[in-house]
Amino acid sequence: MLFLLLVACIPSEVTTLREAVHDYEWFHSAFNTIEGKVRQIEAQAQLVATEQDAAEVRRLKMELSGMQQSCRQLVADYNGNSDKVHVGIFQGGSLPDHLALDLCEVK
């Protein structure tokens, strides 16, 4: 309800209902993708920690690095869109405003 009220209060020159729904869906999709990436990173870090073969450890670490970079880019996009007034207001109340920059790091 609040979402529709926000859309109704914004001048039509700024956004349309279709754009608002797109932005809302983008945030939810991006958040779910980031959560999936974080789980992938955690699983890959476990593989690295348990692998005995040095060559395989190097390969797994390279893959892990790529996963982390992809995750960092997704977080940067999410946070960047949150900062845009005409996009961020359609994020919805169930998602965080911003995600921690270290979210993609191995813990």
Count of positions (residues) in the chain: 107
Task: Check residue 49 and give its pLDDT.
Answer: 97
Tokens of 7: 């859309």
Distances, alpha carbon 8 to alpha carbons 17, 23, 60, 101, in Å: 9, 15, 50, 33
Average pLDDT over residues 77-90: 79
Q: What pLDDT is recorded for position 14?
A: 52
C-alpha–C-alpha distance, residues 85 and 64, integer Å: 34
Query: Where is pLDDT greater, at 68 or 10?
Result: 68
- Whole-angstrom distance, CA of residue 21 vs CA of residue 50: 44
Q: Which tens digits make up the pLDDT trace of 27-80?
A: 899 999 999 999 999 999 999 999 999 999 999 999 999 999 999 999 999 999
Contact indicator for 92, 25 with CB cutoff of 8 Å: no
Its pTM stands at 0.79
Q: What is the mean pLDDT of residues 12-19?
A: 66
